[in-house]
Amino acid sequence: MAIDRRRVLFGGGSVAAALAAGAVAAPQTEAAPAPHLPTKWDRTADVVVVGSGASGFPASIAARESGSSVILVEAQPHTGGHGTCSGGNVPLGGGTSFQKKYGIVDSPDLVFRDLTDWSVVEPNGFPDYRYNDREVIRAFADHSPIVFEWLIAHGVVFVDQKPDTLGGGSVGNSVPRENHAAVMDWPMVQTGGQADPSVRKTMSSGNGLIRPLEAAAAKASVQVLVEHKMTGLYREHPDSGRIIGIAVDNDGKKVNIRAKKAVILATGGSSTNVNFRRMFDPRVTEEYCGIAGQPWSNQDASGELAAMAVGASLWGAYNQTGEFGSGLTKPGQIGTQYGYVNLKWMPGSKVFDKARASGLTVRDWQNVALVNMLGQRFYDETARQFTSNNYGNVDPYTYGSYLNAKNIKYDPNNWINAAMQGIGDGVNGGGPIWAIFDADAAAREKWDPKPPNLDFAGGFAFQADTLADLAKKIVMKYQRLPMPPQALEETVARYNGFVDSGKDEDFGKPKPLYKIAKAPFFAAWSTPVIHDTRVGLRINGKGQVIDMNGTVIAGLYSCGETAGGFSQHGLARATCQGYIAGMSAAGEKLGA
Ligand SMILES: Cc1cc2nc3c(=O)[nH]c(=O)nc-3n(C[C@H](O)[C@H](O)[C@H](O)COP(=O)(O)OP(=O)(O)OC[C@H]3O[C@@H](n4cnc5c(N)ncnc54)[C@H](O)[C@@H]3O)c2cc1C
């Protein structure tokens, strides 16, 4: 009888029973830990979840409620990840109670069909769903309505309204599926305070999704360890066998945590890891340093790298390179490192000392001229990035018909690519983009152009009484060449000429309205922001991680933005895949 090494080591199943009965002898060499494994474990649980965000909490709760003991480790001093920074717009469909209540007919089959329709393209020609992994999408489609009800059962209050199309992307063309987690009384990460009582039941917020899940995890006795950063995975043998635990850094101290059933990687993606993200787009160099959701948490690829070190494969890499919706965005706030459009850090926030400034929210891009590192304009300031697909975006829509693509009207709304084109000196990356404005613009926008709104100390905002002095002052880490003062003066003079003539002859800004003429003058950081991770570890329908040979890595799961094969923004895939991974991991046999 051949001995299954995995089962012998962990005493599971029939081979273990046979061993106990003396039917077969365990090889002597397997008693001692291999040299790469710890000699002692500091902690042990059945299931170890890494990351306490939108996928990690559902994974932990699902595993715990299925009878497994669970340790959840979180790198940051606080929980929630991007999930809690998010807008709380959750596109779970497939026939949810809300869809039924409001007369929307949906089914798992329709979700699957929508999210695998090759023929749907964006106005830029990029296909949303063509490269989605069918097994991953099938699992998502089948669990979508279940997870929606499961979230409600675990305390999430969704705004009681008809599902709509707001706040998500790549969620299918056939029916509306967006639900909105009400913020309720939970404090918000952005401000540190509660929302105004008048909007607590109607305002969508990631806090309304994550905080009830955190409470449910506590109630279920999930052991949450903050400031515990996973640094590596332990596998029985360097390139084979089960995953049996993780190495963790806890404030400089190494902690080894044994996972008797499985480790679930819910680490949130790779967008803040410059070298990792450049595998998919070489342009996104260091200056793209204000990732959405930072500085609350990072997407440093630690989950992906740890899994790849034990043989895991990445999957669906096109989905990261394709330019979908908010994957790469124009900032909404200028003059701060962290200017993501829907996230404004306020002085009461726990992470405001790291964010340093709130930024100035731009209401009307007519009020600024955007220039590159050399002080040159590059595009229409009022333009935006591409969109992504939602219910009704393709109209008329026929499933799988090439006419869907044929009927799409190309939209060259391409600010991001223009901003990332660089200055033509052969260096990757577009360099900093600066919003140039004057005192009159600040008055029109009702901006108060000083700290804590602008980050002068961090080098993300500058002020001077002349344009030439402003250009000279722009010295910071990512400004690798000085801005020639004369270039900025000439750019602004030409721009002001377009205001006089009513026509932007260079980039077609619709009727430039305001001259930049009244001191003081400002330069505010306005560099594109990276948002989503859509590439990640190869998983199967159960969330098990697959290696480079197409084989399951026993005892290793992944979910959310760290998992690949699924082009969709955010919370639905994270919560759903977290639930699936937690349930599956709990179903594993116990190791020794
Ligand atoms: C501003 C903003 C708005 C958004 N709005 C929406 C929206 O309205 N709708 C939508 O669908 N999506 C939205 N999203 C996206 C959505 O929040 C994410 O897709 C989702 O949170 C991903 O879940 P996750 O579990 O993969 O990662 P996260 O929620 O980010 O959780 C990952 C966690 O893992 C931790 N971690 C990472 N590495 C380690 C490690 N080595 N050891 C221990 N812990 C680690 C992180 O600190 C983090 O807490 C938004 C995102 C942002 C930033």
Which ligand 1 atom is the nearest neighbour of the CA of 300?
Answer: 38
pTM above 0.85, yes or no: yes
Q: How far apart are CA 223 and CA 365, in angstroms?
A: 47
Average pLDDT over residues 554-574: 96
Distance 355 CA to ligand 1 centre (A): 17
Q: How far apart are CA 251 and CA 506, in angstroms?
A: 53
The SS3 of residue 107 is coil
Residue 91: both structure tokens together: 């596109």
Distance 302 CA to ligand 1 centre (A): 14
Confidence of residue 427 (pLDDT cuts 50, 70, 90): very high
Q: How far apart are CA 339 and CA 355, in angstroms?
A: 10
Domains and CATH numbers, the chain: 33-324+533-592 (3.50.50.60), 331-383+434-525 (3.90.700.10)
Which ligand 1 atom is the nearest neighbour of the CA of 561?
Answer: 26
Distance 110 CA to ligand 1 centre (A): 27
Alpha-helical segments (H) within 106-241? 108-114, 134-153, 206-219
- Tens-place pLDDT, residues 10-29: 222 333 333 333 333 333 34
Average pLDDT over residues 468-489: 98
Confidence of residue 124 (pLDDT cuts 50, 70, 90): confident
Residue 221: both structure tokens together: 């006795």
Chain-centre distance of CA 169, in angstroms?
13
C-beta of 49 in contact with ligand 1 (< 6 A): no
249 beta partners: 229, 254
C-beta of 82 in contact with ligand 1 (< 6 A): yes
Tell me, what's the pLDDT at 14?
32
pLDDT(157) > 80: yes
Q: How many CB atoms lie within 10 A of CB 66?
A: 16
Tell me, what's the pLDDT at 323?
85
Closest residue CA from atom 33 of ligand 1: 51
Contact of 284 with 274, CB cutoff 8 Å: yes
pLDDT(418) > 70: yes
Closest residue CA from atom 16 of ligand 1: 570
- Tens-place pLDDT, residues 343-394: 999 999 999 999 999 999 999 999 999 999 999 999 999 998 877 788 999 9
Distances (CA, A) of 203 to 159, 181, 185, 197, 208: 8, 8, 11, 10, 9
Average pLDDT over residues 443-451: 98
C-beta of 430 in contact with ligand 1 (< 6 A): no
- Tens-place pLDDT, residues 264-322: 999 999 999 999 999 999 999 999 999 999 999 999 999 999 999 999 999 999 999 98
Higher pLDDT, 457 or 325: 457
DSSP string, 321-382: HS--GGGEE--SEESSS---TT----TTSTTHHHH----EEPS-GGG-EEE-TTS-B-S-TT
Confidence of residue 30 (pLDDT cuts 50, 70, 90): very low
User: Which residues, other chains included, contact 176 with Cβ-Cβ below 8 Å and sequence gap of 6+?
Assistant: 93, 104, 162, 163, 164, 165, 391
Using alpha carbons, select from 290, 331, 297, 322 the residue that is nearest to residue 562: 297
C-beta of 168 in contact with ligand 1 (< 6 A): yes
Best residue among 267, 308, 345 to mutate for probing ligand 1's pocket (most ligand atoms within 8 Å of CB) is 267
CA distance between the termini of the chain: 22
Q: What percent of the chain has pLDDT over 90?
A: 86
Distance 54 CA to ligand 1 centre (A): 6
246 beta partners: 233, 257
C-beta of 181 in contact with ligand 1 (< 6 A): no
89 beta partners: 180
pLDDT(77) > 90: yes
Chain-centre distance of CA 525, in angstroms?
22
pLDDT(251) > 80: yes
Confidence of residue 592 (pLDDT cuts 50, 70, 90): low
Tell me, what's the pLDDT at 29?
41
Tell me, what's the pLDDT at 366?
98
Q: How far apart are CA 80 and CA 560, in angstroms?
A: 13
Using alpha carbons, select from 233, 238, 234, 241 the residue that is nearest to residue 4: 241
Closest residue CA from atom 34 of ligand 1: 51
Higher pLDDT, 188 or 5: 188
Confidence of residue 447 (pLDDT cuts 50, 70, 90): very high
Give the H/E segment covering residue 314: strand 314-315
What angle, rounded to 10 degrees, do the helices at 56-65 and 206-219 form? Answer: 30
C-beta of 230 in contact with ligand 1 (< 6 A): yes
